Structure 1
Amino acid sequence: MPTVLAINPGSATTKLGLFRDGKEVITKTLEHSGELHAADVSKEHDIEVRRSAVVGFLRENGIDISTIDAIACRGGILPPLESGTYVVDDEMVDYLIHRSPVDHPSNRAAPLGAELSMGKVPVFITDPVSVDEFWELSRLSGIPQIERRSLLHALNMKAAARRVAQEMGKDLTDLNFVIVHLGGGISVGLQMEGRMVDVNNANDEGPFSPNRSGELPVGDVVEMAFSGKHSEKQLISRYTKQGGLFAYTGTDDLRKAFELSQNDNNVSQVIAAMAYQIAKEIGGMCAVAGGEIDAVVLTGGMAYSERFVEMIRSYVSRFALVTVEPGENELLSLVEGAERVLNGTERAKKLKEGVVRR
């Protein structure tokens, strides 16, 4: 029965989960209060704050790191990679601390895991956001200076696909899915025979979401950018943190929006438009798959809303079976990746092996 510690850092929190034989033993979200909010906090100090908090958590719960079979960490912003589980080694740690193009909290996970393990326990990541299995046609944007990038909620989407394949009693490589992550950002991906060959970048493309604007008319965006009324930082925040449902209704919580919609038809229309745009994106993926889709898989936090799921299902159920795997289940998905390596069903790759594009 393997025992695995999962680590998932947020901007000011670190989520931990101890799992034994795939079952949750204990989970905890460590709050780092104001320790990480200062602008001049170094990456090394950030990792040390988290390490000290995790060590305290382990000590309080009588957990000896040497009794753990593996540490499973959230994958950070790495180069474009093949899907799968990767060994955390010195090269990966160096990349995440010194060379990653984006300074993101998830970049702290693997270095933190490596420090905790002290070389005594294997450390892994699984399916980071940079998983890249694109068809070459998927990369063309419309102008050669801008390439479409494969950035997605890979961890949850890949894990949901595995669960659905298992429920169907089939091998993942024999199935074609459209997988929809319904969270703060929305990713709609086409997975053909186990490979995610196309997906919208949730920050820049596709349907609007609870707090992201999705695709916008280019001309209007350019006009706004050069109006002199907004800084670059303000515009990026408007489109990626204050757009979508939030921009129209003042809330990015779908549950709250449904409550508001009882007395405000405009809010009802916004929710309906979000479902409509999601359905359009699903339909496009079904089209480029030639209609050969075994299931549409809905996952993420908003998939808990039966009402919202039914709004999407009403558009797309004629394309394929619609299955629902609600929630993000990130800690469990990380653990399952480590367990596949520990039980020999998957070989953990090293960073250099998995890089598909530089």
Structure 2
Amino acid sequence: MNEATAGSVLVLNSGSSSIKFQLIHPESGESSATGLIERIGEPHGRIVYHHGGGVEERYVAIPDHRAGLTMAANIIAETGLDLRKAGIIAVGHRLVHGGDVFYKPTIIDDAVVQSISNLSSLAPLHNPANVIGIEVARAALPDIPHVGVFDTAFFHTLPAEAATYAIDRKVAKENGIRRYGFHGTSHQYVSARAAEFLGKDLNDLNQIVLHLGNGASASAIRGGRAIDTSMGLTPLEGLVMGTRCGDIDPGVVLHLHQSAGLSIEQIDDLLNRNSGVKGLAGVNDFRTLLTLVGEGDESAKLAYDVYIHRLRKYVGAYLVELGGVDVITFTAGVGENNPDVRRDSLAGLGRLGIVVDDERNSSTSTVARRISSDSSAVQVLVVPTDEELAIARAAAELVGGYATAQD
């Protein structure tokens, strides 16, 4: 057994076009190995693996998720780490959609894999990739328990008025139609970290968490429990995202099908993969978008303005729902690294007690920090998310109880 990795959890996040993996000790939070497989399906893929002995980086075509995971396993073995003898206590899988079936960490067996696959229509970009990650990992590590941690779990207890769509009740029930919400692991982790940072009791805080990455979502959290969130039945609803449109009149879908002649598959591809910032500006990387804005590109400027407009609408709605807010927290790739988005999304809200300090906001620090002014009644924070650590801890907790129950 490898003493450096004994007791660790291997966390696997098999996304739509990339796979992240990390070996984490759930108690200390220390990571002994991390890896990223990206640009899956593109001509020039990339695998980078950080470990105790250094960094391995390779550029190679990665045709699909299964091939990418196999390549990563080979690199890990080549650098001297035998995962089967590393003392790993569990493999934690980040899973996007649990439907009404899964709303807490779950030991994965064949039936669970099939159920996750059956839910793919609700998360077509993610659940199929999640299933491949599970299948490959279970085949490689068959004697280690595998645990699914679901993005939808934190929002399972949304109040009925927030979770319910105003359509025929029988149709909704028969087809599992409700607002599920996503990025729940991140929203739960970040809201708890925000309370810890402020030295406050989580139960005493009204919070808005803005998870802004290529996928983006907002949540309203009262006393540690979510009362609303921007994503819905699928991760398509809500904020403008990298390639997803967010909120849209359902009549647009009907119009595209009936009048424009687009098939359901074409509409799905349009709204999920070729809309949002990419649809408006032709790019979905925010760094590239802001470069184009700086160069005077009108399409990029419009895309940015639409993005900010939608974000401000949700902040305003959640301020009202919560009846006032104590802390607003930015997280994920754009939220943590883009001062323009943070500044513009909260600009002009001094009357509501929200004032961002320009100097603090411009800091390039990578740790949790306050970016509101001393005069701001509402605390505005940047808190790096750590979904992998949250998944590792959830998996370790479940496996401990599972092992006890098997004794």
Q: Which runs of 5+ in 2 are unaligned?
A: 1-5, 43-63, 355-377
Q: Which amino acid aligns with 1:195?
A: R
- Which residue among 328, 331, 334 is the counterpart of 1:302? 334
CA deviation map 1:286-328 (0-9, x unaligned): 211222x2211211211111111111122557353221124x5
Q: Which amino acid aligns with 2:213?
A: G
Q: Which amino acid aligns with 2:159?
A: W
Contact 2:66 2:133 (8 Å CA) reproduced: no
Q: Which residue of 2 aligns with 1:312?
A: 345
Q: Which amino acid aligns with 2:391?
A: L
Q: Distance in 2 between matches of 1:79 and 1:265?
A: 41
Q: Which residue of 2 aligns with 1:17?
A: 22
Q: Which residue of 2 aligns with 1:324?
A: 382
- Which residue among 6, 12, 15 is the counterpart of 2:11? 6
Q: Which residue of 2 aligns with 1:166?
A: 196
Contact 1:70 1:123 (8 Å CA) reproduced: yes
Q: CA deviation at 1:33?
A: 6.2
Q: Could you say if the C-alpha distance between residues 272 and 235 of structure 1 is closer, same or farther in structure 2, counting changes exceeding 3 Å? A: same
State the Cα RMSD in Å: 3.2
Q: Which moved more, 1:80-89 or 1:8-17?
A: 80-89
Q: Distance in 1 between matches of 2:236 and 2:286?
A: 21
Q: Distance in 1 between matches of 2:119 and 2:251?
A: 34
- Which residue among 229, 238, 256 is the counterpart of 1:199? 229
Q: Higher relative CO (CA 8 A, sep ≥ 6), structure 1 or 2? A: 1
TM normalised by structure 1 equals: 0.79
Q: Distance in 1 between matches of 2:273 and 2:312?
A: 22
CA deviation map 1:237-265 (0-9, x unaligned): 22222112222211111111111112326
TM normalised by structure 2 equals: 0.71
Contact 2:12 2:92 (8 Å CA) reproduced: yes
Q: CA deviation at 1:53?
A: 4.1
Q: Could you say if the C-alpha distance between residues 101 and 216 of structure 1 is closer, same or farther in structure 2, counting changes exceeding 3 Å? A: closer
Q: Which amino acid aligns with 2:328?
A: V
SS across alignment from 1:314: coil
Q: Distance in 2 between matches of 1:99 and 1:206?
A: 20
Q: Distance in 1 between matches of 2:41 and 2:280?
A: 31
Contact 1:72 1:335 (8 Å CA) reproduced: yes
Q: Distance in 2 between matches of 1:125 and 1:181?
A: 21
Q: Which residue of 2 aligns with 1:60?
A: 78
Q: Which residue of 2 aligns with 1:353?
A: none
Q: How many percent of aligned residue pairs carry the same amino acid?
A: 22
Q: Which moved more, 1:159-168 or 1:97-106?
A: 97-106
Q: Could you say if the C-alpha distance between residues 298 and 348 of structure 1 is closer, same or farther in structure 2, counting changes exceeding 3 Å? A: farther
Q: Which residue of 2 aligns with 1:126?
A: 149
Q: Which amino acid aligns with 2:164?
A: L
CA deviation map 1:105-152 (0-9, x unaligned): 123344444434323x33323343355221100133333245442131
Q: Distance in 2 between matches of 1:34 and 1:282?
A: 36
- Which residue among 135, 139, 157 is the counterpart of 1:115? 139
Q: Which residue of 1 aligns with 2:89?
A: 69
Q: Which runs of 5+ in 1 are unaligned?
A: 36-45, 350-358
Q: Which moved more, 1:187-196 or 1:58-67?
A: 58-67
Q: Which residue of 2 aligns with 1:184?
A: 214
Q: Distance in 2 between matches of 1:325 and 1:142?
A: 35
Residues 315-354 of structure 1: matches in 2 within 5 Å?
315=348, 318=353, 320-326=378-384, 329-339=386-396
Q: Could you say if the C-alpha distance between residues 111 and 258 of structure 1 is closer, same or farther in structure 2, counting changes exceeding 3 Å? A: same
The number of residues matched between the two structures is 333
Contact 2:209 2:329 (8 Å CA) reproduced: yes
